[in-house]
Amino acid sequence: MRIARLFVYPVKSCAGIALDESLLLDTGLDLDRAWMVVDEHGEFVSQREQPRLALVQPQFKRGGSELVLRAAGMLALHLAVDVVEEPVRVRVWDDEVKAYDMGDIAAQWFTDFLSLTPEGLPGAGGARYRLVRFDPDERRLSSPTWTQGLEAPNQFSDGFPLLVLGQASLEELNTRLQTAGHARVGIERFRPNIVLTGLAAHEEDQLDRLQVDGGDTAVVLRLVKPCARCGIPDIDPLTAQPGRAVSEALRGYRQDARLKGALTFGMNAIVQTGVESMLRVGQIVQPGGASA
């Protein structure tokens, strides 16, 4: 196996950034899901409620010291990575956590963009949004039921530090989509952090851990929970238009008894060893045993 692709998603539910290398932290890849959009009540907002978030394209500039967000019809929003404003409390799923508000300019940018109609015209919604940054002093842990008691902190991810997906799993899905008369889809719909080659389709489901070769410290990732899928993979990342083809295809062969029949695709992972190591595209990955 090798690492074929690495992705980070700086703003939860916005587009990702493909990287050649990334620093591995206990919360996952550096700056992954470090920012998040919230509503007026401090509740997180994702593509489930606002598919247009898929159209927001992030980019790191100035040696990684600045995050730039771009979207059609909008001036670029520039955010200093190390600058925040006032502390706030926000909710992501069942967790209320400490965060920092990113200010009125960022809030107005997301409010304006998310109010646009699919034609790019101002809508009549009236909802207000804000952008927040995860407080690095906060300790938000993955479910110990799945981590077997290991503490696995997250930022604003849905529940685990990393998502691992085999390239062959996507190829299997695309074969089924084409057989049913649908277009192929890209891996960005599934929002993985680590994409592996050298596995059979969905072989990642059967692995217990991965060891990444290279460096002085062994990087060991534990694959702890199948990733249950909502409707986000059905949203076209180029148009933000929802569909049904992906979910219908997965329903034919990916109902997972481990999650009471939920549709799963990819594996959630935690960092067992190797914090502060660099992961790089092309690194060899050794399997660490099969799960029960």
Query: Residue ranges of the domains in the chain?
Result: 2-287
Determine contact, residues 279/203, Cβ cutoff 8 Å: no
Mapped onto helix, strand or coil, the DSSP state of residue 110 is helix
Specify the pLDDT at position 157. Answer: 97
What percent of the chain lies above the pLDDT cut of 70?
A: 95
Specify the pLDDT at position 64. Answer: 85
Q: Please classify residue 234 by burial: count the beta carbons closer than 10 Å to its beta carbon, then call 0-12 exposed, 13-18 middle and 19+ buried.
A: buried
In 3D space, the residue among 75, 73, 72, 88 whose CA is nearest the CA of residue 35 turns out to be 88
Determine contact, residues 45/217, Cβ cutoff 8 Å: no
Distance CA(61)–CA(281), nearest Å, equals 20
DSSP 277: P
Distance CA(30)–CA(24), nearest Å, equals 6
Confidence of residue 124 (pLDDT cuts 50, 70, 90): low
pLDDT by residue (tens digit) across 71-82?
998 999 999 999
Q: Which residues pair with 280 in a beta bridge?
A: 21
pLDDT by residue (tens digit) across 212-262?
987 677 899 999 999 999 999 999 999 999 999 999 999 999 999 999 999
φ/ψ of 66, rounded to 5, equals -135, 135
Single pTM value for the model: 0.94
Compute how many other C-beta atoms are within 10 angstroms of the C-beta atom of residue 81. 18
Confidence of residue 146 (pLDDT cuts 50, 70, 90): very high
Question: Residue 238 has which token pair?
Answer: 């180029």
Mean pLDDT is lowest, of 63-67, 94-98, 229-233, for 63-67
Determine contact, residues 63/254, Cβ cutoff 8 Å: no
